[in-house]
Amino acid sequence: MQPSAFRELHQPGSPFILANAWDIGSARMLESMGAQAVATSSAALAFVQGTGDLGEISRDDALAHAKELNEAVDVPLNGDFENGFGATTDDVIKTIQQAGEIGIAGCGIEDMDLPSTEPYEFARAVERIEAAADAARALPNDFVLTARADGIMHGKYDLAEAIKRLQAFQRAGADVLFAPMPASLEDLATICREVDGPVNGICAGQYTKSSVKAFADAGVARISLGSSLARATHRVIHDAASAMFDAGDFSPMSNSIAGGEIDALVKR
């Protein structure tokens, strides 16, 4: 099987931006403006659906959303599929198989026992990634599996445990490794040194103040946005709505982009 265009984008020290979108318009706009790959975001989809982001999105909804965005753009599409939508290895396998059926380029699987913020114990977390990797390798097309050590983001384990899990996930067959929101760029660089495979960094929280070069210097291969861009968009809605409803002030909308310019970016 030949490596996919998506797989070949992952070059440690020369990261690309994986642009997380939340609908067809945002996906096409990001693609038109230079995104080499687009991804879903479980949190951004939750915002669209008016629900929460801790295991409240169903497999069917996430797959339908990913399929819709994948068919709307020409660049690779990566799915944010939480913990595989279930606690068992069968749940994870089903998610990978169905992701392959809709033709997306890859997806991420977390080590969290949703809807709690508790991680699966180490052996079980590794077993789940091994099952996901076996299912991914059995697909007819190249499929990039990202294994996530999310416990570090929730304060459930430290950097050493995150690295231990990522190393085990790589041995289990994961293609890309991801420990969201380590405490610092230095910790992110440590992850990149200690893990042989491509590492995903996320532009969220304090990392929104970091440049692409800073991520590159840390050694990452991919910079995802998570829900950061969606939340920036919701900030605009929040601030404009606050001004109009609280003070009768419409001026926050005066800096909007022209409709024709948006049309040119999103229409096919």
| Confidence (pLDDT) at 4 | 86
Confidence of residue 1 (pLDDT cuts 50, 70, 90): low
Confidence of residue 54 (pLDDT cuts 50, 70, 90): confident
Burial of 220 (0-12, 13-18, 19+ CB in 10 A): buried
Closest CA to 3 of 92, 71, 81, 76: 76
Confidence of residue 2 (pLDDT cuts 50, 70, 90): low
Separation between Cα atoms, residue 69 and residue 99, nearest integer Å:
13
User: ∠7-12-14 over CA atoms, to 5°?
Assistant: 95
Average pLDDT value over all residues in the chain: 96
Put simply, whether the predicted model's pTM sits higher than 0.85 gets the answer yes
Domains of the chain: 5-227 (3.20.20.60)
- Residue bearing the bigger pLDDT, 57 or 171: 171
